[in-house]
């Protein structure tokens, strides 16, 4: 396991990981950006509130992506069945 140094909201963090360093730094930049968006919209908000709001936003993105993927998977399955039926004719 290696240690990757990242900075989020001006604070340095050492992340112990087996993942690629560039990937971890990309994640940290993404989280940092989301936190900064919240701070810019609500500069007097507490760190905890900003973290919770950013977490909810990231969770929303994840859930929407999952729903979209499920919808896409269903569409592919339906089209595959339709094509299989055509080939069997």
Break the chain into its structural domains and give their ranges.
Answer: 2-88
Nearest-angstrom CA–CA distance, 51 and 54? 5
Class of domain 2-88: alpha beta
> What's the whole-model pTM score?
0.81
SS (H, E, C) the chain: CEEEEEEECCEEEEEEECCCHHHHHHHHHHHHHHHHHHHHHCCCCCHHHHHHHHHHHHHHHHHHHHHHHHHHHHHHHHHHHHHHHHHHC
Could you read off the pLDDT of 24-58 as tens digits, one per residue? 999 999 999 999 999 999 999 999 999 999 999 99
């Amino acid at each position: 396991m290696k240690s990757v140094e990242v900075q989020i909201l001006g604070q340095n963090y050492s992340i112990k990981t087996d993942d690629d360093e560039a990937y971890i730094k990309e994640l940290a930049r993404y989280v940092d950006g989301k936190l900064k968006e919240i701070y810019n919209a609500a500069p007097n908000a507490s760190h905890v509130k900003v973290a919770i709001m950013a977490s909810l936003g990231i969770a929303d993105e994840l859930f929407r992506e999952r729903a979209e993927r499920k919808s896409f998977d269903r569409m592919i399955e339906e089209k595959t069945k339709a094509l299989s039926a055509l080939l069997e004719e």
